[in-house]
Structure 1
Amino acid sequence: MRLDLKRRLGLAFGALIAMTLPAVAGLCEKRDFDGQSYAICTVEAAQEPDLRLWLNDAQGRTLGSFGAVRGTLAPGEALAFAMNAGMYHPDYKPVGLFKADGATEADLVTAGGGGNFGMLPNGVFCTGGKRPFQVIESRAFAKAEPACRLATQSGPMLVIDGKLHPRFLPDSDSRYIRNGVGVSPDGKTAWFAISDRAVTFHEFGRLFRDELGARDALYFDGSISRLYAPELNRSDFGRKMGPIIGLTGKSE
């Protein structure tokens, strides 16, 4: 009886997940590069309007998890993928620029400083502007003031105009699970990637430059990096997050 109940509960849970899966096929994949494995979710220009940034709920409380993000979706919507999207303070407010839903929650920071965010050059991931997707160095962003539907700032830059960040060392012993975003030279494709195991900045940057062909790429975070990708049967859990980025679609 107990085994049969577990089996029935498992079938019911599977059916519930199936009903809420987004009708987006081929979005996320597993890929190996240079001895490391990664999960990569690819978003094309036509999907840009469905890309979203989340931070707080309607009451101003930090969402902080993929489950909470899913709870904000309208009937008939599903979360195709999501990941943490930039660094944040202890109160979960973004460290740098954060713009979503027509509102700017935090301003651009151009000064250097300690930690990964302050390892200049850092940058901004911007969507819905002159090109569908852009990764722009923060000081260049301040001068250009591009129009962005969504914007999140983080650092360091991983790839700058086809070159790795100058402070990345091939023999570095600093290894973390890391995630970030890269953009194709024509701005029509954005790749969101997370490593399956701890990698160096140099290894992670080369994934975007040499494997994916990104001209510019931006680091989101490390150690707390997490991914929601039902297509890969993956929903990472852990500490509460600040900014979260993801793609929505119609549920099947």
Structure 2
Amino acid sequence: MKRVFSAAVLVPLAVLTSACDEQPEGEPVVRTEIRDTAGGAAGASPSPASSDSRAQMESSCRPVIFEDEPFVHCVAVPSRHHIVTALADGEGTPFRSLAAYASARSAEAAPIAFAMNGGMYNDAGQPVGYFVEGSDRKVELNRNGGPGNFHMQPNGVFFGSGDTWEVRSTEDFLANVTERPEFGTQSGPMLVIGGKLHPDISNNGESQLIRNAVGVDEKGRAHFVISNGPVSFGKLARLYRDELNVPNALYLDGNVSALWNPAGGRLDSGAPIGPMIVVEKKPAS
């Protein structure tokens, strides 16, 4: 589908880990295919019996259940991780998939903790909003009105430099961020703003899709979540507000949402994606 300018009980956290979102009523949900990098198909809810225990222990991602729905929760910790954005190869050709990005990384690159698609894009795979990669601003902040999730105000920006990562609404970012960050990606809508749910998000809307998002807690940790089944905006937003206690959370995308978790043997494939957020492991001190 065309993608132009474009959304309880939790298991203990100790055991944790785009095409257009708007689908016509009655249209089947399109699911990103989850692949096991070892060659087989990976289930949506991996069990201990089917997962390598050492890989799971080293993974930054863990399965969670929230309001009877399965999610994967991945945590980036400033002391252990470095965050970058990625879009295209050295010739400027967009990767369009996590697999293509994985293949293009050099052997000398830092090991990957995990990566996700991270921001909305046009048919050519180019970001429709603010995008910074390696301190180079590729696309300016987008404050235009329009249809679709991206323009559901307030939208926002996930950005950072060094060990400091933040999620801010677009207007907050414009008013208060004066230095260009090392990385940044704009998406929308915001799911949680100042500890409150986005005012226009219903409890459980009719739109049910595979979705992913990011939020930063008060300790500076970035929490990435991807659903393993179709969920509403409201359920994803409540997970951030009620269980992860994240004051600001940003919707990254839906329908094409994908995760690369090397330690868990997961590399999702499916519809072409655009910007990516990559969490690298820092060298052991």
Band of TM-score, shorter chain? 0.7 to 0.9
In structure 2, what is the equivalent of residue 193 of structure 1? Answer: 225
In structure 1, what is the equivalent of residue 167 of structure 2? Answer: 135
In structure 1, what is the equivalent of residue 125 of structure 2? Answer: 92
Measured in 1, the distance between the counterparts of 2:80 and 2:138 equals 24
Aligned residue among 73, 77, 83 for 2:116: 83
Aligned residue among 205, 208, 216 for 2:240: 208
In structure 2, what is the equivalent of residue 178 of structure 1? Answer: 211
Post-superposition offset of 1:231: 2.7
AA in 2 matched with 1:142: L
- Residue 197 of structure 1: SS of its match in structure 2? coil
Measured in 2, the distance between the counterparts of 1:171 and 1:39 equals 20
In structure 1, what is the equivalent of residue 71 of structure 2? Answer: 38
- Per-residue CA deviations over 1:22-68 (Å, capped at 9, x if unaligned) read 9x9241100111111100110011235x2121101000101111222
Say yes or no: does 1:112 pair with 2:117. Answer: no
Measured in 1, the distance between the counterparts of 2:193 and 2:76 equals 20
Which residues of structure 2 form unaligned runs of 5+?
A: 1-37, 40-53
In structure 1, what is the equivalent of residue 60 of structure 2? Answer: 27
In structure 2, what is the equivalent of residue 123 of structure 1? Answer: 156
Aligned residue among 101, 119, 134 for 2:134: 101
User: How many pairs were matched up?
Assistant: 230
AA in 2 matched with 1:94: P
- Per-residue CA deviations over 1:167-200 (Å, capped at 9, x if unaligned) read 11114211111001011024x1000110011111
In structure 2, what is the equivalent of residue 228 of structure 1? Answer: 260
Task: Note closer, same or farther for the CA distance 1:171–1:29 as it changes in structure 2 (3 Å cut).
Answer: closer
Say yes or no: does 1:217 pair with 2:249. Answer: yes
Aligned residue among 177, 196, 220 for 1:163: 196
Post-superposition offset of 1:230: 2.4
Q: Structure 1: which 4+ aligned runs deviate by more than 6 Å?
A: none
Alignment of 1:241-252 (within 5 A): 241-249=273-281
Measured in 2, the distance between the counterparts of 1:212 and 1:85 equals 19
**Mapped contact 2:226–2:257 kept (Cα < 8 A):** yes
- Residue 150 of structure 2: SS of its match in structure 1? coil
AA in 2 matched with 1:151: G
Post-superposition offset of 1:250: 7.5
Q: TM-score, normalised by structure 1?
A: 0.85
Which residues of structure 1 form unaligned runs of 5+?
A: 1-12, 15-20
Measured in 2, the distance between the counterparts of 1:30 and 1:146 equals 37
Measured in 2, the distance between the counterparts of 1:107 and 1:229 equals 30
AA in 2 matched with 1:243: P
In structure 1, what is the equivalent of residue 86 of structure 2? Answer: 54
- Residue 91 of structure 2: SS of its match in structure 1? coil
**Mapped contact 1:70–1:79 kept (Cα < 8 A):** no
**Mapped contact 2:59–2:113 kept (Cα < 8 A):** no
In structure 2, what is the equivalent of residue 3 of structure 1? Answer: none
Measured in 2, the distance between the counterparts of 1:70 and 1:172 equals 35
- Residue 45 of structure 1: SS of its match in structure 2? coil
Measured in 2, the distance between the counterparts of 1:198 and 1:112 equals 27
- Choose 1 or 2 for highest CA Rg: 1
- Residue 132 of structure 2: SS of its match in structure 1? strand
- Residue 46 of structure 1: SS of its match in structure 2? coil
